[in-house]
Amino acid sequence: MSVAESMLNQKALRLNEVDTPPQRMRAAVYIGNGRVQVQAVETPAIGPDEILVRVESCGICHTDLKKIEHNLLPPPRIYGHETAGIVAQAGNRVTTYVPGDRVIVFHHIPCGTCFYCLRHLYAQCPTYKRVGVTAGYEPAGGGFSQYVRVMSWIVDRGIEKIPPGVSFDQACWVEPVNTCLKAVRQLNPGEGDVVAILGQGPIGLIFTMLVKRTGAAVLASDTIEFRRNLSQEFGASAFDPREPQFEEAVKAATDGRGVDSVILATNVPGLVEQALRIARPGAKILLFAQTSAADRIELSGADICVGERALFGSYSADIDLQRESAHLVFSGELPLERLISHRVSLPDIETGIAVAQHPGEQSLKVVIHPQELG
């Protein structure tokens, strides 16, 4: 056993010394008007088929940021869904997990039998749309809190155990990796293809890692030099999208045709139009970051119809890829902890949200440590 693994296991043992969770806990509550406030709330009670997870790491996702910044859902709510932690309690009918198990938790799981599930469109399943993890109030993921209640259908199929030696910060990437892997499978790039990935934030960099695994070449763009440098380390050719060299590189790499596929990993205005300019006839253009109803795109119909291009979306995770995405994360094949630029305690979550909303020259992923109270 390595020194790091030994220290990790000792930490887990120390964390498990307190068997009974407190009656009240700290949580970052969305209170409306774009604001989150750390409050003392009741620790959620669990039913006989449920578990209570002590949250150790939770990544800040841009879907949560949009809900907070644009007041998309009524308060109060406790967001956060990229959750890794330790089972603190298990209901008396739960046999798969016991207190002390280290786990990651998905917050959506489909029914498997409805019209959409039978067509593998799991994110459209009515059961999938029900959030099954909560720290209180209307279920909203709850990972920005010290404990979360995991409901029965998530316990049944939406949890993966974290192997020894894997940190909670590494493990909390399983859900976002799954969403990206799903999109890459839909795009289906092949060896020899050229794929443009617009945006090299945490999600864009995951796309770069996954697309490179297919044997395709990656032309990446981002306005932040730090991110472009990381992208190049992961095998892409990276450019500033505001400079003419990017579109010139696309032409040079494809004999003037344009790229075979484009992934939009950010929703900056004007990028869909750029995607069409750099995509060859017959190309696929994948919208991944355009998740707000406020997003509007104005395109020439001929660019799609006459150019025979496919414009489509991919949203959320795929249960069929749950084990595979967990393996990619736990094995260390993807160097995901390198994408974490900020680790903040729960009292500092407003600072973490501000960094994630307005990234600076050295910022990438922000991870919350709810057990650290400053």
Residue 132 is predicted with a pLDDT of: 98
DSSP 44: P
Share of the chain above pLDDT 70, in %: 95
Indicate if the pLDDT at residue 354 is higher than 90. yes
From the list 142, 29, 12, the residue with the least C-alpha distance to 87 is 12
Domains identified in the chain, total number: 2
Which residues, listed in sequence order, are joined to residue 35 by a DSSP beta bridge?
Answer: 32
The verdict on 252 and 192 lying in the same domain is: yes
The verdict on 124 and 261 lying in the same domain is: no
Residues 28/347, Cβ–Cβ less than 8 Å: no
The verdict on 162 and 250 lying in the same domain is: no
- Mark which of 313, 344, 361 sits at the end of a domain: 313
Indicate if the pLDDT at residue 374 is higher than 90. no
Indicate if the pLDDT at residue 271 is higher than 50. yes
The verdict on 132 and 242 lying in the same domain is: no
Residue 2 is predicted with a pLDDT of: 44
Indicate if the pLDDT at residue 359 is higher than 80. yes
299 domain-assigned: yes
321 domain-assigned: no
Rg over alpha carbons for the chain, rounded to the nearest Å, is 21
Across the chain, mean pLDDT equals 94
The verdict on 125 and 78 lying in the same domain is: yes
324 domain-assigned: no
Task: Pick the more confident residue, 15 or 261.
Answer: 261
Share of the chain above pLDDT 90, in %: 89
Residues 319/110, Cβ–Cβ less than 8 Å: yes
Indicate if the pLDDT at residue 105 is higher than 70. yes
323 domain-assigned: no
The verdict on 216 and 136 lying in the same domain is: no
Indicate if the pLDDT at residue 114 is higher than 60. yes
242 domain-assigned: yes
Report the CATH number that the domain containing residue 75 is assigned in CATH: 3.90.180.10
The verdict on 34 and 144 lying in the same domain is: yes
326 domain-assigned: no
From the list 101, 189, 176, the residue with the least C-alpha distance to 143 is 176
User: Can you tell me the distance from the alpha carbon of 300 to that of 295, in angstroms, rounded to the nearest whole number?
Assistant: 17
Indicate if the pLDDT at residue 333 is higher than 70. yes
The verdict on 69 and 204 lying in the same domain is: no
Indicate if the pLDDT at residue 12 is higher than 70. no
The verdict on 61 and 169 lying in the same domain is: yes
The verdict on 192 and 169 lying in the same domain is: no
Using one digit for the tens of pLDDT, what is the confidence trace for 210-252? 999 999 999 999 999 999 999 999 999 999 999 999 999 999 9
CB atoms under 10 Å from CB of 33, counted, come to 8
Helix (H) or strand (E) holding 238, with range, is: strand 237-239
198 domain-assigned: yes
Report the CATH number that the domain containing residue 219 is assigned in CATH: 3.40.50.720
* Average confidence (pLDDT) over 100-125: 98
The verdict on 73 and 156 lying in the same domain is: yes
* Span of 181-190, 265-274, 312-321 with lowest mean pLDDT: 265-274
Annotate 298-324 with b (16+ C-beta within 10 A) or e (fewer). eeeeebeeebebebeebbbbbbebbee
Using one digit for the tens of pLDDT, what is the confidence trace for 276-319? 999 999 999 999 999 888 788 889 999 999 999 999 999 999 99
The verdict on 165 and 259 lying in the same domain is: no
Residue 318 is predicted with a pLDDT of: 98
Q: How confident is residue 6, by pLDDT bands cut at 50, 70 and 90?
A: very low
How many Cα atoms are found within 13 Å in the side-chain-facing hemisphere of 78? 33
Domain containing 251 equals 179-313
Residue 19 is predicted with a pLDDT of: 59
In order, the DSSP letters of 245-262 are HHHHHHHHHTTTS-EEEE
Residue 11 is predicted with a pLDDT of: 43
374 domain-assigned: no
Q: Categorise residue 133: left if φ over 0, alpha if ψ from -120 to 50, beta otherwise.
A: beta
